[in-house]
């Protein structure tokens, strides 16, 4: 028979309690991501998407995660766009997302993604889907005219 380890039991029992967090006078009740949400977060390959995912999935009210309440799902999107939300840089949502990643033990994941993204920028990888291409169609046309 296993002996009860009270510290381990309490750590597991209390890890999903809401955390109060304030950004620019806006008070939030946040819940750390669940194990299921953490697994989904680990599949995300963009730091911006990871931060947004964390922020969207951690907002709680009265100890209940809003994403667990089907009726409240639309409220989260409206919250981030609310006219009284401070217009700051980084955004409130970004700061909330970073806090959620921290309290969920995923700050290393965020740092790894940021490092990878910085290295990719430094390598100047050509991305054909980029809104600001490295080579324009006009330049390709001109090059084709010079080198038929």
Which of 114 and 135 is assigned the larger pLDDT?
Answer: 114
pLDDT tens for each residue of 54-83: 999 999 998 889 998 888 878 998 999 999
pLDDT tens for each residue of 24-64: 999 999 999 999 999 999 999 999 999 999 999 999 998 88
Cα–Cα distance, 77 to 90 (Å, whole number): 18
Cα–Cα distance, 115 to 117 (Å, whole number): 5
Average pLDDT over residues 90-94: 94
Cβ-contact 33, 4 below 8 angstroms? no
The strand pair at 64-65 and 19-23 is best described as unpaired
Nearest in space to 109 (alpha carbons), one of 42, 19, 11, 10 = 42
């Amino acid at each position: 028979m296993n002996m009860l380890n009270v510290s381990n039991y309490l750590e597991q029992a209390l890890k999903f309690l809401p955390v109060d967090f304030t950004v620019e006078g806006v008070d939030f009740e946040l819940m750390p991501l669940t194990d299921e949400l953490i697994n989904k977060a680990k599949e995300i390959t963009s730091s911006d998407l990871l931060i947004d995912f964390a922020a969207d999935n951690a907002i709680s009210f009265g100890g209940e995660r809003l994403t667990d309440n089907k009726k409240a799902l639309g409220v989260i999107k409206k919250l981030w766009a609310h006219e009284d939300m401070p217009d700051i840089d980084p955004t409130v949502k970004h700061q909330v997302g970073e806090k959620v990643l921290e309290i969920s033990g995923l700050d290393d994941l965020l740092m790894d993604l940021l490092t990878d993204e910085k290295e990719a920028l430094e390598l100047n990888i050509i991305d054909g889907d980029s809104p600001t291409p490295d080579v324009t169609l006009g330049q390709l046309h001109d090059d084709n005219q010079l080198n038929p």
